[in-house]
Every structure is written in structure tokens, then in C-alpha cells.
Amino acid sequence: MTPLLGELFSIIAAFLWAGSTIVAAKTLRKVSPLTANAVRTSSASISMFLVSLVMGAFPDLFSLDLYGSLIVIGAALIGFGLGDTCLYWSIGLIGVSRSYTIGYSYPFFVMALATLLLGESLLLKHLVGSVLVFAGIAIVFAERNVKLEQANRRKGLMIAFAAAVLWSIGTTLVAAGLRTVSIIQANTARFPLLSLVLITASRLQSKNSNLDRRALILLILSGILGMTLAGVVFLFSIQLIGASRAAPLSSSSPVWAAVMSSMFLKEKISLRVITSTLIVVAGTYLLM
């Protein structure tokens, strides 16, 4: 029963990550990517604080390892701060299905960085996974028959690619930081600092945020779903079945995102994008 529950939690986490992106995407026609990410992170800060209280982890915040804390905070600024902002920027240009598929190629870059910097071993399945990931990305880049301005299309694809690289750097850094800091401690400490940075940056970018009540509610919901609930559920999955089994199951997130974007955002998804999504998911599975 325990392994089955762990597998279920991992799939739920993938579903929540995809769902939070779809919810946020509904606001990106009016709200800037930076403002959207600032609101989303702020809601995650508050909800994560409540989670730490419920789980009894709040007292541990006063005994955080300084070095580990600095690393996970830096990881949050790069991964959640810059990476998520790039994803939302890309979504506004080329849609969820294309942006999310390219962005979710980040495990390849994590593998490359871990091999080069952390001395982790490189297996044959990793090489096969790498080929599949790049094949999936190439299919999206080669797409021609789409109703998008050529300049916006090229820009959106490159920004989604940048999001993947930034996420990989953030993931590699947080892996090092979590050697001395727990996940609950890390998220409770870094989310408030990240939200302050994003709020300041969004205010400097523009005084007019176009943030109405509906957009505010959707972005708050996105933060709770994607950054708090998905993170905690995935943590429980790792505790029950281990990271080596939990991570591949969560790689189904781009498939959920493609399905949801078609259902709720009315995006027209071509056979090429569907094929690309499945190839990237298969490659990501092998990279885990």
C-alpha cells in the first residue's frame, strides 16, 4: 500500500504543477510575467509558513545552517525567480504546450551539471534520454505551420529554453543546499525572500500592474497549487518510494499541461507538439 501511495503522490504532484501553470496562464494577457511570479511566490510564502507550523518544522527555522541556507536562497532566485518568470514570458508568446515542453527539458541540463560539477556517474540511459530530449525540442523548433508571428515564435522558444537552463542551475544548487537544510526549512525560509525580490523588481518595472481581483485570485491559487501543495506532496512521495522512483513518475507533467491547455485555454495543439511532448517526457524519464 505504501509504494502505491507514493506513486500516486508523485503523479498528483505532476498534475498540480501542470494545473498551476494553466491557472497562471489565464492572467498573462494582462499581467506581466514578473508581477505574476511575484504574486504567486507571495501566496506560496504564506501557505508554506502555515505548512511548516502544521508539520512542526517552524522551530527548526531558528537553527538553519547558514551555508546551506544561502545556497537554497540563491537556487530560488535563479530557478523560481528567473526561471519561472521566463516560462510565463514564453507562455505569453507561444502558449503553454510549447513553452512547457521545452522548459521541461531541464533534467538534461541538471544531469550535465551534476556530471561535470558534482562528479555523478553518466549511464547509457542518460545518453539515450539526452538524445530524446533534444529530438523533442528540435521538433518544436522546426514547427512551421503555426499562427504565430515569426519574431514572437523565435523569441518565445528561446526564452523557454532559457527557463530550462535556469531551472537546471537552481535544481543543482538546491541539491547541494539540501545536504544541510530540510526541504520544509528551505521553502519556508527562501520563499519570503524571493517574493520580496520579485515584488521590488515588478514595482521597478512598472507602476501599473493591471492586477485585477480575478487575476489576483488566480495567481494566489497558482502559487498554493504549484509551489506549496505540489512541493509537499512530492516530498511525501520521495519519503515513501525514494527519489529514483518519484522523479520519473512526476515527469508526466508536460502531458497534463498539454491536455489542460487544450481544454481550458483552447490552445490548438498540433500532432507535432503532441509528439514532441511525449518524446521529451520519455527522455526525461530516462534522465532520472
Residues in the chain: 288
Helix boundaries (H) for 123-270: 124-141, 150-177, 183-205, 213-223, 230-241, 243-250, 253-264
pLDDT truncated to tens, each residue of the chain (288 aa)? 677 887 788 889 889 999 999 999 999 988 999 999 999 999 999 998 888 888 777 777 777 788 888 898 998 999 999 999 999 999 999 989 889 989 888 877 877 887 777 676 777 887 788 888 878 887 877 766 556 667 788 899 999 999 999 998 988 888 778 778 877 777 788 889 999 999 999 988 876 667 899 999 999 999 999 999 988 888 777 667 765 566 666 777 888 888 899 888 888 877 888 888 888 888 877 876
Between CA 227 and CA 237 the distance in angstroms is 15
Q: Which domain holds residue 210?
A: 2-287
Between CA 229 and CA 1 the distance in angstroms is 22
pLDDT at 145: 55
Label residue 36 exposed, middle or buried (CB < 10 Å: 0-12, 13-18, 19+).
buried
Cα angle for residues 107, 222, 7 (degrees, 5° grid): 50
3-state helix, strand and coil shares in percent for the chain, rounded to the nearest 5 = 80, 0, 20
pLDDT at 117: 76
Dihedral sign of CA atoms 174, 180, 183, 184 in order: negative
**How many domains, the chain?**
1
> Rounded to two decimals, what is the model's pTM?
0.87
